[in-house]
Amino acid sequence: MIGLVALHAVFGTIGLACGDRLGRRCLLLGAIAPAATFVWLIVQLGEVFDGIAVVQSVEWVPALGLNVDMRLDGFAALMVALVAGIGVLVYGYAAVYFPTGRVDLGRLAALLTFFAGSMVGLVLSDNLIVLYGFWELTAVTSFLLIGNAHTDGRARAAALQALLVTSAGALAMLVGFVVLGQAAGTYRISELLSDPPSGTAVEIALGLILVGAFTKSAQYPTFRWLPGAMVAPTPVSAYLHSATMVNAGVYLIARLSPAFADVAWWRPVVVSVGLYTMLDAGMRAMRQTDLKLLLAMSTVSQLGLMVAVFGLGTEISVTAGCELLLAHALAKAAAFMVVGILDHQHGTRDIRLLPRPTSGWGLTTAVTFVTAASMAGIPLVLGFIAKEEVLEAFDEAPGWAAPVALVAVVVGSAFSVAYSIRFAMGAVGRMNGRGSAFTADLSHGPPPTLFVAPAVVLSMITVVTGVVPGVLDTLIDAAASSLDPAVRDVHLEIWHGVNQPLVWSVTAIAAGAVMYLRRERVDVWLVRLQPSPVSSSTTYRSSLRGLNSAANRVTGVVQSGSLPIYLGVILLTAALVPGLLLVSGEWWPDSVEVVGTPVHAVIAAVILGGALAAAAVRRRFTAALFLGVVGYAMAGLFVIQGAPDLALTQVAIESLTTVLFVLVLRRLPDRFESVTPLWRRGLRVALAGAVGVTVFGLAMSAGSERPTTPASDTMVERSYPDGNGRNVVNVILVDFRGYDTLGEITVLTAVAIGTVALARAGRRPSTTGAPAASDSGGYGTAPPPLQVSRLVTLEVSTRVVFVIVMVGSLYLLFAGHNQPGGGFVGGIVAGAAVALLYINGGITEVRRLSRGQPWLVLGAGLLIATVTAVVPLLFGGSLLEGAAYTLDPPLLGEIKLTSAQAFDAGVYLVVVGLVLMMFESFGDDPPLSDAAPDRDPAHLESSRSETRVS
Amino acid sequence: MAALAAALFAIGTYLLLQRKLSRIIVGLALLSHGANVLFVNAGRRGIPPLIGSGDPADFADPMPQALVLTAIVISFGTTALLLALAYRSWLLTNDDEVADDVEDRMVGARGHGDDVEVTDETMLIDEAEAREQESAAATTTVAPTTAATTTVANPTGEWST
């Protein structure tokens, strides 16, 4: 069964891929999957008729108990027969309906196949969640098919309405499914129905599920989307919006009703919604002049009747519902096909314009009368058999309200008789006015036999089963008994003798005929009863508008566009939520170590002073310098804490940060010039205080308790045996937590690229420079080599120092595994060496180092680290698994090489690359390196030492 | 120590709420310093955790150190990126003020009017309904010449609606 659904998906995809090239043949291609389904169904029928369900189950998400359960029982077989059988016929019909040259035919055929597959999946699924999935798939394919003429705004609006209404219902249904599934302890529909759960939760769930079913089957008040959907091509309307998809809601109600009809409100609600829809839509159908809209409203009306019948949930009503479902699908699909034929041949489907049939139209006319008769419930067609059964069901329904419902059904039936006559008379041109504007030369003449054939097939089934209803016994019996096991030995007969249902039936036919004959007077009454033939679309529209403007308003409040407000809200939450928890909790420590050592106090004072000064000063540059003070003091703190690696890194980073600040801040105005109102500053202080207090509380409570042994004890223990390193911090970084570090250097690479992109994009060398740029000599077409002479001593000493610092950084890298140091520290020290070069020779000097391609260094680093991490996988190890090799070269003594060192080298290169990229970002372009020395503190020294050569 | 971290957080927060990007950067740096203090403070104080240099029982806790080392480098990356933003801001506006997002403001201002797109689509539904009303209200006796304007034969063979 899953294979069947997959088959549809495959053929749908093929259709999408090459449908346009196949022309009309793509419709035949699309018919393959439904045809295969039909054949498969016939093969299975023997078993199904014996009352054995065909079951298939595939595990999907076993952890959630989610399986793809499929189940073919009698009722599912009836639905599959309709979906696949009518599907094949619709494809045949569409092959004539659509003109040869139509470009989107491939897509249309493919979408129909997708729809057929979803619908087959829907009726076969035995799992609530799987059913929901297929349910939504039918909604999506229906959306695409309604909006097929996507350049037409009307089609788009109708498609959107259909999608929004049915999906909103489906969402409610999903919630209902979950609640129901939880209450029952299973999501399998068959299990759930054989042992139905009860309780308030179940009743709420049923209510939500009904919302989904009602919207899908276009019940009042959400029926408006169905007439709107008539903008779809007629074959689509015949298939989706009359015979199959709209039956999904009815299908669900039919499944649930026998099990849940005893819930107190079920019968009153379902039956009255169904009957109200039947009456309301029936009256609307009696006023339509567009045949397609007439059929749409009659579909809504008939769906209402089906909902009401199945909603009764009695044995006889289940049988009646199955018959009605079958009769309606056969008749309505054929009726839509007729309308499509008329539209195609005459170019109109307005009953005021359609002409009388000439020779060659005989077959079409016959089909028209058969379908109309079936819709009206005239004897000798299937519709009559079904309607008799329905009337009997209501006649025997329990409860005091049953007679009222019966009268409503009879009145509704009279309406359907009236609009069926209207349909038939309109289709054969008996309703057009005298001197119709229709001229014969607009007509394409009678339709080819092949065009009418699918409708003829459906009509013949309607007639044969109407005359000899016994042929349906096994099918209806299997369908009804699969819904309600209490159903026994269904036997359909055309003549039950003169009984109550026959009397009602005759009454309805007579009343309908009278209503048709006196239609002018009836119209006056209808207009009085329903001043406007439309109503709920207004609700749809205004709710859509309301939703949009509410969304805008919420966005306007939530998204004010002000960074301080955003940050303020975040920080306030961060301060308040844990803060309140702290106040309510009992986490306060007994004793607190206020200050560790006297040195701590000194360092803390420096940090605090630096931070306060950085916040208070009004000059950017000074703020950056005070930030540096805080950083260096932090390094001091790390030293006392016993963290030399941290101290080294902090010092190096702080130096580099300061250089970066200098490079950027020299551009910006010297002072902060904004004047903020006092209240706003007060607010800031208050928020800052709140955050501070919360952090203090957190720190105190966190420090008070440590119930488990620190993970670091094991790390210290395993550092040398497992990681081959004596420096525990470094081993943690490159070995134990190497995955973290790999992620970190990836972030650094991204930062480097982002920084260059931000700083270099759209940089205009000629305008960003100071006036000096104009006389820098020949700059314009191609920048000449920078011609500056430097102090020889500075030049030489820089080179020497650079080499020494680089060697030192390499030492830090290689020693890092056993001594303080490592890739990060080494890389940053190398970065400091690069900064030295920059000070001496500007960006040109830095570029010479990496041949102007710092990203190569960056990329090489990331590559080395990644390769080191991945290589163990090739040898069957795990990611980042370490290995060690001991070399014993002469003179140097024993050297232990570990793979972690290679990884660390990668880290080193990434950091060096990052620093190079920073200079690439913020450094000057060559001709500008000596421009505006007064605004350029980083260059004070170099510009002092330079003399320009003109 | 907890008080120091709290003070760093408070000052950092204060700076973070400003509009000048360079102050925000400084504020963020102070915040991360505060977080680092918290981290280091959470671990045991002791001698550097180098195996062979002493009794492991006297070692400082290496775990927070490794975490803080990562944090230091990452906050350097953040600072660099924010500086690049400030630099970009200078390229475009000659200042590093973070102004309100104009698009956001516009969305807020639009909250009182209708969404243009939706109005368009619903107008089309209105139109379709008006046609239908006309169609439904017209009885069979209405002169068909007026009705003829609503449905026009389509000679191109496009019968999709």
B144 touches chain A (CB under 8 A): yes
Asked if A289 lies within 8 A of B33 by C-beta distance, the reply is no
Q: Which of A111-115, A745-749, B97-101 is least confident?
A: B97-101
User: In this structure, are residues A208 and A169 in contact, taking their beta carbons and an 8 Å threshold?
Assistant: no
Q: What's the pLDDT at A441? A: 58
* SS3 label, residue A439: coil
pLDDT at B135: 57
pLDDT above 70: residue A76:
yes
d(CA A679, CA A681): 5
Q: Are A72 and A108 in contact (CB under 8 A)?
A: no
Q: How confident is the model at residue A340 (pLDDT cuts 50, 70, 90)?
A: very high
- Bridge partners, A69 (sequence order): A57
Q: Return the pLDDT at A772.
A: 39
Tokens describing residue A295: 């059929």
B19, closest residue in chain A (CA to CA):
A564
DSSP H helices, A286-314, are 291-312
pLDDT at A151 over 70: yes
Q: Is B146 on the interface with A (CB under 8 A)?
A: no
Contact between chains at A557 and B50 (C-beta distance less than 8 A): no
Query: If pLDDT is split at 50, 70 and 90, which confidence band does A802 have?
Result: confident
Say what the pLDDT of residue A785 is.
47
B86 at A interface, C-beta within 8 A: yes
Q: Residue A818 and residue A131: Cα distance in Å, rounded?
A: 62
Among chain B residues, the shortest Cα distance to A662 is held by: B83
B137 touching A (Cβ < 8 Å): yes
pLDDT tens, B38-96?
Answer: 888 777 777 777 777 777 777 878 888 888 988 988 898 899 899 888 888 888 877 77
More confident residue, B139 or A830: A830
pLDDT of A163 above 50 = yes
> Bridge partners of A895?
A887
Place of tokens 């929004």: A164
According to the model, what pLDDT value does residue A944 have? Answer: 39
CB–CB of B21/B97 below 8 Å?
Answer: yes
Q: Indicate the helix (H) or strand (E) that contains A895.
A: strand A895-898
| Chain B contact for A607 (CB, 8 A cutoff) | yes
Measure CA of the first residue to CA of the last residue in chain A; give whole Å: 86
Query: What is the arithmetic mean of pLDDT over A883-905?
Result: 68
Task: Say what the pLDDT of residue A710 is.
Answer: 66
Could you tell me the two tokens for A328?
């309606």
pLDDT class for A577, splitting at 50, 70, 90?
Answer: confident
Q: Give me the pLDDT at residue A684, please.
A: 86
**Alpha-carbon gap, residue A435 to A351, rounded angstroms:** 14
> Cα–Cα–Cα angle for B76, B79, B84, nearest 5°?
125
- The reported pTM is 0.68
Q: What are phi and psi of A497, to 5 degrees?
A: 85, 175
- pLDDT (tens digit per residue) in A478-505: 999 999 888 877 888 888 778 888 999 9
Please tell me the predicted confidence (pLDDT) of residue A277. Answer: 93
Residues in contact with A139: Cβ distance below 8 Å, sequence separation at least 6, in sequence order? A162, A163, A166, A167, A170, A216
**pLDDT band at residue A768 under the 50/70/90 scheme:** very low
Asked whether the beta carbons of B125 and A415 are under 8 A apart, the reply is no
Name residues whose C-beta falls within 8 Å of residue A524's C-beta, 6 or more positions apart in sequence. Answer: none
**Which residues have C-beta within 8 Å of that of residue A348, sequence separation ≥ 6?**
A342, A354, A438, B151, B153
pLDDT surpassing 60 at residue A893? no
**A948 has pLDDT over 60:** no
Q: Is the peptide bond before A854 cis (omega within 30 degrees of 0)?
A: no
Could you tell me what percentage of chain B is helix, strand and coil, using 3-state DSSP and rounding each to the nearest 5? 65, 5, 30
Closest CA to A657 of B100, B2, B77: B77
Count of beta carbons in the 10 Å neighbourhood of residue A645: 29
> Is A877's pLDDT higher than 80?
no
Read off the tokens for A282.
């029936």
Determine which of A168-172, A286-290, A715-719, A832-836 has the lowest per-residue pLDDT on average: A715-719
- Chain A residues touching residue B56 (CB < 8 angstroms): 716-717
Q: Quick count: other Cβ atoms within 10 Å of Cβ A947?
A: 12
Q: How close is the nearest chain A Cα to the Cα of B71, in Å?
A: 9
CA distance A324 to A137: 26
With contact defined as beta carbons under 8 Å apart, do B84 and A921 qualify?
A: yes
Q: Which of residues 256-315 of A touch B (CB under 8 A)?
A: 284, 287-290, 293
Taking residues A330-337, report their average pLDDT: 94
Name, in order, each residue with C-beta under 8 angstroms of A659's C-beta and a sequence gap of 6 or more.
A835, A938
| pLDDT score of A171 | 95
Compute the average pLDDT of residues A574-578: 85
> Which amino acid makes up residue A155?
A
| Average predicted confidence (pLDDT) for chain A | 83
Across the interface, whether the CB atoms of B48 and A158 are under 8 A apart is answered no
Q: Which residue has the tokens 């054989």?
A: A194
**A646, A737, A919: best to mutate for the B interface, most B CBs within 10 A:** A646
**Average pLDDT score over residue span A636-659:** 87
pLDDT range class, residue B125, cuts 50, 70, 90 = low
Q: Which helix (H) or strand (E) holds A57?
A: strand A54-61
User: H or E stretch including A67?
Assistant: strand A66-72
Q: Which amino acid is at A241?
A: H
Q: Provide the token pair at A90.
A: 């619709």
Q: What pLDDT, on the 0 to 100 scale, is given for residue A591?
A: 58
The contacts of residue A338 (CB under 8 Å, 6+ apart) are A364, A367, A368, A371, A427, A455
Lowest mean pLDDT among A43-52, A98-107, A777-786, A900-909: A777-786
DSSP codes of every residue in B36-105: HHHHHHHSPP-B--BTTSS-GGGBPPHHHHHHHHHHHHHHHHHHHHHHHHHHHHHHHHSS-B-PPPHHHH
What is the tens place of the pLDDT at every residue in A516-569? Answer: 999 888 888 888 877 665 555 677 778 888 888 888 788 777 777 788 888 888
Coil, strand or helix at A884: strand
What pLDDT score does A949 carry?
A: 38
Q: Which of B76, B90, B126 sits opposite A657 (nearest CB)?
A: B76
Q: What share of chain A is helix, strand, coil (3-state, %, to 5)?
A: 75, 5, 25
Count Cβ–Cβ pairs < 8 Å, chain A vs chain B.
433
